[in-house]
Structure formats: structure tokens, C-alpha cells
Amino acid sequence: MTVLPDGVRHFPACLSPEEQRALLDDIRGVVQRAPLFTPRMPRTGKPMSVRMTNCGSLGWVTDKDRGYRYQATHPVTGAAWPPIPDRLTELWREYSDHPHPPEACLVNFYDETAKMGLHQDRDEETFDAPVLSISLGDACLFRIGEIERKGRTVPLRLESGDVLVLGGASRLRHHGVDRIYPGTSMLLKKEGRINLTLRRVTKPTR
């Protein structure tokens, strides 16, 4: 059995097939209003293999000239992001253990060849809140490293309906997606994986 680092909580098969289907319908609504775009690496402009969109008051984007950032509008349409569906806000309430609502939900779509290199989530203004990740569709090989880039990593297979909460001492650990396992879920019409990442971006005002 794999022991996960402090602050990493994995809830396997947390969402029933019906709940996964309902979430997927919510996300289809989001993608209709805010189409998937191809993010590009800062400076090089190299496209990432994952396609993305967002919902919430702020969304994570990246391009060649302006790099990683959060902004209130879609980089292609210029429209405000659609709201975070209630079902997702509810999951945040249940699992985050955090008193303030999420501001950003990044929707990552992986086709069968997509991956995401080892990185830290550090574009937020505050790291007080955890990051909550929900997996839908094909399984993936996920990897959690240390806060320093070098060092040991722990592999973790994430399946459709799994919830992962990353907080506390682990909030700034490196992590990445090594590969997708095509054909391991029937949830989506085609092969691929969707990950929903709920985050707090700004310091709460009172």
C-alpha cells in the first residue's frame, strides 16, 4: 500500500456513476459557453498537450507573451467565465475543510496521448486553501513529488469518480500526469480524461 504525504487525501470512487454523469453534463454546459482552448508555455509558446477551459470568477490561462495567470475572461472569446456549477461548489464544501468558496475551476481535457509535466501550483495569491481535484473518464498515472523539484515521487493511479484534496504541508508539492490509460472508462463518448481543479485564488476579504 502506498502512503501518501501529509495533507494529501485521496478518496477513491467517491462519486457514483450517476454523480459522475451529472457532473459531466454540468461540464458540457460550461464548455458550450467557454470552449476548450490550447494553452501555450510562457516565452517559448510551445502548446501544452492538455486543452483547457474554466468556470468561476477567475480562470487559469497561459500564453507566450503573458505567461501563467488568473483572469476573469476567456482568452479567445473575451467573455466572462461561466459560474461554477452548484454540484462542484457542494463538493468543495464537503471535502475542502475550508470556510471560503472556490473562485476558480480549471477544466483540463486530456486526450489519450496528453500529459502534464511535474510542476507546482503557485499562481494563486494565497496557499491557505487546498486544491480539490476531481477525475472523470479514463484513468491516469499521477505523480506527487516534493516541494523541491528534485527528490522522490509517489505514483498514484486516479480513476473516474476519484476526489483528491491537496492542502496543508503538501499544497506546494510538485505533481504531474505521466500518462492516460485509454479505454479504462466508459463515461466519456471517446477516450480521454477530464480533470476538474477547484481553487481559491485571492485572499478572502471580510
Q: How far apart are CA 36 and CA 54, in angstroms?
A: 9
Give, rounded to a whole angstrom, the gap between the first and last alpha carbons of the chain: 43
Stretch that binds ligand MD3, among 24-32, 78-86, 167-175, 178-186 (CB under 6 A): 167-175
Stretch that binds Fe ion, among 5-13, 56-64, 88-96, 118-126 (CB under 5 A): 118-126
The answer to the question of residue 171 lying near ligand MD3 (CB under 6 A) is: yes
The answer to the question of residue 173 lying near ligand MD3 (CB under 6 A) is: yes
The residue assigned the cell 508539492 is: 173
Q: How far apart are CA 180 and CA 139, in angstroms?
A: 6
8 Å CB contact between 70 and 58:
yes
Stretch that binds ligand MD3, among 15-23, 74-82, 163-171, 181-189 (CB under 6 A): 163-171
The answer to the question of residue 195 lying near ligand MD3 (CB under 6 A) is: yes
DSSP-derived letter for residue 31 is H
Stretch that binds Fe ion, among 40-48, 70-78, 101-109, 113-121 (CB under 5 A): 113-121
Q: How far apart are CA 97 and CA 85, in angstroms?
A: 19
Q: Which CB sits closer to Fe ion, 121 or 124?
A: 121
- In terms of DSSP H, where are the helices of 34-118? 86-95
What are 96's three cell numbers?
Answer: 475542502
Q: How far apart are CA 54 and CA 91, in angstroms?
A: 17
CB of residue 121 vs Fe ion: minimum separation in angstroms? 4
Binding mask 27-46 for ligand MD3 (x = CB under 6 A): --------------------
Q: How far apart are CA 121 and CA 157, in angstroms?
A: 20
> Applying CB under 6 A, which residues contact ligand MD3?
8, 106, 108, 116, 121, 131, 133, 144, 164, 166, 170-171, 173, 175, 177, 195, 197
Residues at the interface with Fe ion (CB under 5 A): 121
